[in-house]
């Protein structure tokens, strides 16, 4: 597949703009999260009917009846909004928590859903002078360790009636050990302390894992595209740093859409990710095709060249064979020269090969050859018959300008 159309200054400029916007979109929340710029707010509706069961919500109806039998009553509904909620969120808003309070108004139970996950619930008690203890039903324990008069205790596979009983025992133990007094607070007091609990829990439960995700999905491809030592031999048009960064942005967006909880069904959210996995496989043969055979043949020829150089045998016939692949063989030679453990004999042989390919000497520094080689690599591979691996190669399959004695064209490069 001919991708030379991608080697265009206008396309590069557009790709850089998209890549820059993508970098801001991906890295912005992580930077603000690390700087502690998160902002927690809530909207509180103190109408008790907002916490009553609705038609078609049988699960909540059952939970509601359990607590109603224990004396708990609906008191309202709260919606949390968090800016820079995690290293991957610019803004997050909850689906809302339906609130019920105990008869003495010292314990508030919140029922909520995370995206389309099963209904979850928590019981929270406040303390005089600041502090709160929450007992939470969760699908997976994070085990956060909070400082001060705050505790966050997680339970698995429990019912609301069991949770409030366990919560009462947790509160009694914590109050006795800390010398605290339980507070009969308002709903706004509950919301304020719930936000404080979120501030203390979120960095532990979300921060590290999501930073790792950002680093692996975006940071590593970006580094490989931008670090000169890694990108200097990426001569293919589609490996231009701007295109690589755009690709990393698309990959990150697809993974974020598939992994982070939303109201969209998981099957639908997986479609873009599966498409991204399929597309490279589909186009791999089109991007490589016969080029793979030529690259393997060139690699085998360079292996033989290096072997002869280390043995001190004549290398001129093998240089002729490399020259038959045309100037585009320069990249493979330069890559081998850049290997830190290359022997002096191999490096000298590869240098002679480059001189033969170009028709003039650019010196022993690899960077001095790169501008010419980048232009030479745009030329198509010649029709070369690959030698069998390990076989003694025949004479050149075709003559190049450098080998035919007509060196003027090569010298013009």
pLDDT at residue 397 above 60?
Answer: no
Consecutive H or E run containing 8: none
Angle, alpha carbons 364-365-366 (nearest 5°): 110
pLDDT tens sequence across 34-47: 888 889 999 999 99
Local structure of 79: helix, strand or coil: strand
Crossing angle of the two packed helices 290-311 and 316-323, in degrees rounded to 10 = 160
CB atoms under 10 Å from CB of 51, counted, come to 25
pLDDT score recorded for residue 412: 36
pLDDT tens sequence across 74-123: 999 999 999 998 888 899 888 899 999 999 999 999 999 887 778 999 99
pLDDT score recorded for residue 8: 77
Q: 132-137 and 150-155 as β-strands: parallel, antiparallel, unpaired?
A: parallel
Distance separating alpha carbons of residues 195 and 130, to the nearest angstrom = 13
Cα 202 to its chain centre, rounded Å, is 20
Beta bridge partners of 183: 126
Distant-in-sequence, close-in-space partners of 171: CB < 8 Å, separation ≥ 6:
107, 125, 133, 182
The pair of structure tokens assigned to 278 is: 């399929």
pLDDT score recorded for residue 187: 93
Q: What is the mean pLDDT of residues 265-278?
A: 70
Do 99 and 74 touch, CB atoms closer than 8 A? yes
Distant-in-sequence, close-in-space partners of 98: CB < 8 Å, separation ≥ 6:
50, 51, 60, 74, 77, 110, 111, 112
Q: What is the 3-state secondary structure (H, E, C) of 143-206?
A: CCCCCCCEEEEEECCCCHHHHHHHHHHHHHHHHHHHCCCEECCCHHHHHHHHHHHHHHHHHHHH
pLDDT at residue 391 above 70?
Answer: no
Long-range contacts of 238-241 (CB under 8 A, 24+ apart): 238/3, 238/6, 238/287, 240/6, 240/7, 240/12, 240/15, 241/19
Phi/psi region, residue 245 (left: phi>0; alpha: psi -120 to 50; beta: rest), is alpha
Average pLDDT value for the chain: 83
Consecutive H or E run containing 75: strand 73-83
pLDDT at residue 229 above 70?
Answer: no
pLDDT score recorded for residue 387: 54
CB atoms under 10 Å from CB of 399, counted, come to 15
CA distances from 396 to 87, 247, 323, 358 (A): 57, 40, 8, 17
The pair of structure tokens assigned to 355 is: 């001189």
pLDDT at residue 262 above 70?
Answer: no
Q: Percent of the chain, pLDDT > 70? A: 83
Local structure of 374: helix, strand or coil: helix
User: 26: exposed, middle or buried (C-beta count within 10 Å: 0-12, 13-18, 19+)?
Assistant: buried
CB burial readout 53-82, b (16+ within 10 A) else e: beeeeeebeebbeebeeeebebbbbbbbeb
pLDDT score recorded for residue 4: 64
pLDDT tens sequence across 128-145: 999 999 999 988 887 788
Q: Which residue has the tokens 């038959």?
A: 324
CA distances from 41 to 83, 135, 152, 380 (A): 9, 22, 20, 60
Q: Percent of the chain, pLDDT > 90? A: 46
pLDDT tens sequence across 154-203: 998 899 999 999 999 999 999 999 999 999 989 999 999 999 998 888 77
CB atoms under 10 Å from CB of 221, counted, come to 17
* CA atoms in the 13 A half-sphere facing the CB of 308: 18
pLDDT tens sequence across 321-371: 999 888 889 999 998 998 888 999 999 999 999 999 999 999 888 889 988
Residue ranges of domains in the chain: 290-412
Radius of gyration in angstroms for the set of CA atoms belonging to the chain, rounded to a whole number:
33
User: Rounded to two decimals, what is the model's pTM?
Assistant: 0.64
User: 294: exposed, middle or buried (C-beta count within 10 Å: 0-12, 13-18, 19+)?
Assistant: buried
pLDDT score recorded for residue 152: 94
The pair of structure tokens assigned to 102 is: 């105990």
């Amino acid at each position: 597949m001919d991708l030379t159309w991608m080697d265009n200054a206008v396309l590069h400029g557009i790709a850089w703009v998209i890549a820059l916007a993508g970098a801001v979109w991906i890295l912005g929340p992580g930077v603000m999260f690390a700087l502690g710029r998160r902002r927690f707010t809530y909207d509180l509706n103190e109408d008790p009917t907002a916490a009553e069961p609705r038609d078609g919500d049988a699960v909540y109806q059952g939970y509601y009846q359990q607590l109603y039998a224990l004396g708990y009553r609906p008191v309202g509904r709260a919606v949390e909004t968090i800016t820079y909620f995690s290293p991957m969120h610019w803004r997050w808003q909850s689906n809302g928590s339906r609130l019920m309070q105990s008869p003495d108004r010292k314990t508030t139970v919140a029922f909520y859903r995370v995206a389309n996950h099963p209904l979850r619930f928590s019981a929270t008690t406040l303390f005089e002078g600041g502090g709160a203890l929450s007992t939470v039903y969760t699908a997976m324990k994070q085990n956060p360790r909070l400082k001060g008069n705050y505790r966050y205790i997680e339970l698995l596979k429990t019912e609301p009636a069991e949770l409030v009983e366990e919560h009462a025992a947790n509160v009694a133990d914590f109050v006795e050990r800390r010398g605290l007094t339980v507070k009969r607070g308002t709903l706004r007091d509950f919301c304020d302390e719930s936000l404080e609990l979120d501030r203390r829990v979120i960095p532990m439960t979300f921060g590290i894992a999501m930073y790792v995700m950002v680093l692996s999905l975006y940071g590593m491809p970006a580094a490989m595209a931008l670090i000169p030592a890694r990108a200097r031999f990426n001569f293919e048009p589609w490996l231009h740093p701007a295109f690589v960064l755009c690709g990393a942005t698309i990959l990150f967006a697809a993974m974020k859409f598939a992994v982070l909880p939303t109201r969209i069904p998981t099957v639908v959210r997986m479609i873009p990710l599966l498409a991204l996995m399929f597309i490279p496989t589909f186009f791999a043969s089109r991007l490589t095709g016969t080029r793979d055979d030529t690259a393997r043949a060139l690699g085998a020829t360079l292996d033989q060249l290096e072997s002869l150089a280390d043995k001190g045998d004549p290398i001129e016939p093998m240089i002729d064979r490399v020259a038959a692949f045309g100037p585009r063989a320069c990249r493979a030679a330069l890559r081998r020269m850049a290997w830190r453990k290359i022997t002096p004999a191999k490096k000298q042989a590869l240098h002679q090969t480059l001189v033969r390919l170009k028709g003039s000497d650019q010196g022993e520094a690899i960077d001095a050859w790169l501008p010419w080689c980048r232009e030479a690599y745009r030329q198509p591979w010649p029709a070369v018959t690959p030698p069998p691996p390990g076989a003694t190669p025949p004479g050149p399959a075709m003559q190049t300008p450098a080998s035919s004695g007509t060196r003027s064209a090569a010298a013009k490069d």
